[in-house]
Amino acid sequence: MSKIEIFDSTLRDGAQGESISFSVQDKLDIIRLLDDIKIDYIEAGNPASNPKDAELFEKIKHLKLKHSKLVAFGPTRRKNSSADKDTALNILGDAPVDTVSVFGKCWDLHVSEILHTTNDENINMIADSIAYLKAKGKQVFFDAEHFFDGFKSNKEYALKVLSAAVDSGADRLVLCDTNGGTFYDEISDITAQVILNFPNTKIAIHCHNDCGMAVASSVAAVYCGADQVQGTFIGIGERCGNTSLASVIANLQIKRDYQCIPQDKLSLITPTARHIAEIANTSIKRSEPYIGSAAFTHKAGMHADGVVKNTATFEHIEPSAVGNKRKLPVSEISGKTAIHHKISRFMPQIGKDEELIAKVTDELKRLENQGYQFEAAQASFQMLCRRLLSDYTPSFKLISYNVSDVLPYTEGSSACATIKVEAGGETKSAQCLGEGPVNALDKALRESLKGFFPQLKSVHLIDYKVRVMDSKNATGAVVRVLITSTDGTDIWTTVGASCDIIEASWIALCDSIEYKLNFLNQPKG
């Protein structure tokens, strides 16, 4: 297998993404994750740009990595100055890493409009900086910024910049589609021309995703001879983001004869991506190739039926190859095969009884027509099935409840709920104040049941979502309520739907408590 180096810029380019802000500890944690999956190069940041990166590079001195090489990033010297007198370049040269990435302009538009200097001085800035860093004993990657736009605007000058970098000792030329506007066929053609002009120099590709082609363009460059791909592991970055390395690695290594990381690390792609997203306090798009939560989800009945019979019918790879999982959510468009597959995981005793499966399918479609959705509420789906297919008896029965707002509002008591329930042959009542009617109702229900079910003491809500199903009906619209609960060990989600938000919340609350009392320790499906 041909080796393709992977260069991750999550800590530098990724940190430029909107709403992304890493602490020093965040960066150290991400470095360890990328080292565990054996990424070749990790760009740690610019040690001269801010106190946070300066602190990181101090800590890097004591960091022991198993595989990855850390890289410091920075600009060339300033115009009309000397490299040895440039503060930022001196800091870059003294960084406690063996590899540095220095960027310079390849587009004459930027030379005149941004740097306000001459084409010759720009080349001198690049040549002097690389020579200075090489004299410091560094491996130097030259980031040819805006290279593809520069090549299309003034091919001769763009290549002249690369020649200056190579002649000054650059170990690698990094061709950057900085604006992200170059199509993959142009990337392919221009990369091939560069390789013809510099046959003895290593070439890397660095794409942004402004046209949605960063992954395709990176793969196209590899086909032409680039042997390093740069990007961010989950594709985060400025504007529309950078090349998603998770997709590139999976595409090249699973689909084509290239090795990016050790084969036994492929199954870490999805957990690594999700861990990085968690640290970055961002979410991975559900439909993101390979690593998204819906990447191997089959909702349509015909698709689910096909996958159950033969996974190759609707999956291009086995999900476990990249550490992901197959999902067959239940919904109104699910077929009987998918529903049977789901039910059999927590009620294997039903076998292949088509009549029972049809019963669940019909009820599922009826409820979804009323506003329910069970894809994200697996606990409610399990409760639905047990009510229909077993001799399940509820743990408690509602006699009545009354909920009212309390004016004037005071902290912790904006609403009051009174409830009466029957359990164990006894009737119990409770009244509680809460932050809003649902919170008050939740408290009153727990208070009325605590004498019967002490295990409910550990249960609390961790998420509450409301969605209006038909805004045309304004305040009379059906609302769907999703409640996520935990007992400190398990987490489960239930759903309720009604024109009355309190009733919808009550339905979801009841399912949550019944699930905990009766079925939590059984298979969840």
Split at pLDDT 50, 70, 90, the class of 16 is very high
d(CA 503, CA 445) in angstroms, rounded, equals 13
Say if CB 233 and CB 242 are below 8 A apart: no
d(CA 267, CA 321) in angstroms, rounded, equals 5
CATH label, 2-279, candidates 2.60.40.10, 3.20.20.70, 3.30.70.20, 2.70.98.60: 3.20.20.70
Angle between helices 155-167 and 119-135 (to 10 degrees): 20
CATH number assigned to the domain covering 396-452: 3.30.160
CB atoms closer than 10 angstroms to residue 12: 22
Radius of gyration of the chain (CA): 29
**Which residue from 316, 322, 296 is spatially nearest to 37, judged by alpha carbons?**
322
Whole-number average pLDDT of the chain: 90
Count of all residues that appear for the chain in the document: 525
Question: What pLDDT is recorded for position 313?
Answer: 84
Question: What pLDDT is recorded for position 523?
Answer: 44
d(CA 513, CA 182) in angstroms, rounded, equals 55
Question: What pLDDT is recorded for position 335?
Answer: 59
List phi, psi (to 5°) of 192: -60, -40
Paired with 422 in beta bridges are 397, 427
Look up tokens 């590709």; give the residue. 205
Q: Which residue has the higher pLDDT, 312 or 261?
A: 261
Question: What pLDDT is recorded for position 524?
Answer: 45
Paired with 88 in beta bridges are none
Sign of the C-alpha dihedral, residues 310, 311, 316, 318?
negative
d(CA 263, CA 257) in angstroms, rounded, equals 12
Tell me whether domains 2-279 and 396-452 share a fold.
no
List phi, psi (to 5°) of 56: -60, -45
Q: Structural domain boundaries of the chain?
A: 2-279, 301-369, 396-452
Overall average pLDDT of the 172-181 stretch: 97
Overall average pLDDT of the 254-283 stretch: 94
Q: Which residue has the higher pLDDT, 82 or 489?
A: 82
Question: What pLDDT is recorded for position 392?
Answer: 81
Q: Which residues lie below 8 Å from residue 226, measured CB to CB, with a gap of 6+?
A: 175, 191, 195, 203, 204, 205
Classify residue 424 by its DSSP letter: T
d(CA 217, CA 233) in angstroms, rounded, equals 16
Split at pLDDT 50, 70, 90, the class of 471 is low
